[in-house]
Homo-oligomer: A and B are copies of this chain.
């Protein structure tokens, strides 16, 4: 594997999930693969889970890790070609990416969307330029429109905890006070559409996701109906795709409480974290037996390790 940016980069998602679960049982068995190999992690935005879980995954594989907080330890990157760089950008992404490709064997890149210009964000310009110019395998640590390591960890979690074949999985929009990216729901949707699950998306009017990611999903504005008999409920806020990046306010009643769970199939509640308590998701759920959010975050290690292992194997 030379690129992990979306579900489309994976030949067999069931096998990748199985790999992750095998690594969870036996984390240190492949340290020969990572010996004298280095993972570079480039952050253009803050990170907690992704940073620590990917670093841990690499160390489990015997790799060295170098972290570069480009926004804090480095300087502003120029993304556009044909620009006379007489402003505030100090280095062009062509050189920055090319140089990083000299120092590490695999590069991880995190780059959020601006949420101002949909075409720009959905072109994945920054992430794609890192891929183009670094010359080495790249793993997405969340890009403008996708968060595939999160989605893989989510599918690992569902596979681990499901109590019947083809569980019903519901992605439900949740309230928030800020406009958030569509990367997590896009990514979760495109993974679930390829997974052996019955997948439903519920959101208020105006929060339709880009249809590129939702082919095969059942989509509804009726949250209560969606939750009926659900095995897994994936809670997440996102801002509108059209008008892009906007939030209309309201829909506070979309926040799940224990009462929302009564007609589910003893559903497990998931969230990618960070979660705002009693705004996106009720504290009573987060602190109760239905929540698997911390367990799910733990699975980020095995998702990242499965991907890095495949990349290391492609290097040798």
Asked if A83 CB lies within 8 Å of chain B CBs, one says yes
Interchain CA distance A7-B53 in the complex, whole Å: 33
- Residues of chain B with a CB closer than 8 A to A69's CB: 73
Q: How far is the CA of A103 from the CA of B286 in the complex (A)?
A: 20
A274→B95 contact, CB < 8 A:
yes
**Is A289 located at the chain interface by the 8 A CB criterion?**
no
Offer 21 A-B interface pairs, CB within 8 angstroms, sorted by A: A36-B60, A38-B56, A38-B59, A48-B91, A51-B68, A51-B73, A53-B102, A56-B104, A72-B73, A81-B283, A84-B277, A84-B279, A86-B279, A89-B276, A90-B274, A91-B274, A92-B286, A95-B275, A95-B294, A99-B297, A102-B297
Residues of B within 8 A of A43 (CB): 73
Given contacts A28-B36, A73-B47, contact A277 B85 (CB under 8 A): yes
Pair A277/B78 contact, Cβ less than 8 Å: yes
**Is B52 a contact of A294 with CB atoms below 8 Å?**
no
Secondary structure class of chain A's binding surface, majority of residues: mixed
Q: Are A52 and B100 in contact (CB under 8 A)?
A: yes
B278-A84 in contact (CB<8A): yes
In the complex, the answer to whether B92 meets A301 with C-beta atoms within 8 Å is no
Interface residues of A (CB under 8 A from B): 27-28, 36, 38, 40, 43, 46-49, 51-53, 55-56, 59-60, 64, 66, 68-70, 72-75, 78, 81-86, 89-92, 94-96, 98-104, 177, 273-279, 283, 286-287, 293-295, 297-298, 301
Q: A40-B52, A43-B73, A69-B73 are in contact. List 4 more A-B contacts (CB 8 A).
A: A48-B75, A52-B103, A53-B102, A89-B276
Report the bound CA distance from A99 to B274 in whole Å. 10
Given contacts A38-B56, A59-B64, A287-B94, are A48 and B279 in contact (CB under 8 A)?
no
Docked complex Cα distance between A27 and B102 (Å) = 14
Inter-chain contacts of A36 with B (CB < 8 A):
27-28, 60
**A297 proximity list for chain B (CB < 8 A):** 95, 98-99, 102
The reply to whether A66 and B73 contact each other, CB–CB distance below 8 Å, is no
From B53, B83, B95, B177, contact of A273 by CB (8 A): B95
Most chain B beta carbons < 10 A, residue from A49, A52, A72: A52
Q: Which B residues touch A82, using CB under 8 A?
A: 283
